[in-house]
Amino acid sequence: MKKILEVTDLCKTYIINKRQNNVLKNVSFTVEEGEMVAVMGPSGSGKSTLLYTVSGMDSMTAGRVEFAGKELSKLKPNDLAGLRLDEMGFIFQQMYMLKNLTVLDNIVLPARQSKANPLSPKEKTEYGKELMRKLGIIDIADNDINEVSGGQLQRACICRSMINKPKMIFADEPTGALNRTSSEEVMQELRKINSEGTTIMLVTHDAKVAAKCTRVMFIVDGNIKGEYNLGRYEKETELRERERSLNNWLLEMGW
């Protein structure tokens, strides 16, 4: 398989009150096209910092990140912003959307901002509706964002992340603010997107979520302590065994 993300000796350091805080320490890993990779670890281990740094949302202190053949540190700010807009999708635990726009308009907004998206304005709107139909939320297209449930809003965020047909989606605790039912619905949609070819890297504290991924990386104190290959999740009957084996491994890692 072809590598879509290659990270080499990545370091991230913050200076707080003149003290140096090394959040990421010489982290190296690769993600191949079509993978669905989970990042787990205790609070403060560097999970979210890792996600933001490898996606170019935060700057690195040292090391190298190559995304789809482009080295992020060598890109000009406008080119990096364009890369994030056109080739990456983002989903967060806090479902950031503009309150003065409808759900559909929020979804289509990145497509309207993109210079690389070849669709006409009308086609962009129609594609947004198509994504909403696929995720079962077309009935809330014209709603304000405060008129829908958390599960519906997070599925709308997934639609927004897909609007420019990204090569890879980065998700930070995408189910963290949801109840179990909504969490399972969101994971079902992410798995569907992944099965259609979109690479996904997500941060989670939930072993049930991670068990549906192809691979889990465990990070402690800014270092990747280990990786666990689960393989592709094909059948629901496999889930309990996947959860059991993953939980056993997490205990070995000190979870």
Averaged pLDDT for residues 110-132 = 95
First to last CA, the chain: 31
* Contact by Cβ (8 Å): 144, 73: no
Helix, strand, coil percentages for the chain (3-state, nearest 5): 40, 30, 30
Dihedral sign, Cα of residue 109, residue 115, residue 120, residue 123: negative
DSSP-H helix ranges across the chain: 47-54, 77-87, 103-113, 121-134, 150-162, 180-195, 207-210, 239-253
Averaged pLDDT for residues 146-150 = 92
**pTM of the predicted protein model:** 0.94
Q: Which domains are seen in the chain, by residue range?
A: 3-253 (3.40.50.300)
State pLDDT tens for residues 57-91. Answer: 999 999 999 999 999 999 999 999 999 999 999 99
**Band of residue 183 on the pLDDT scale cut at 50, 70, 90:** confident
**Band of residue 41 on the pLDDT scale cut at 50, 70, 90:** very high
| 242, pLDDT greater than 80 | yes
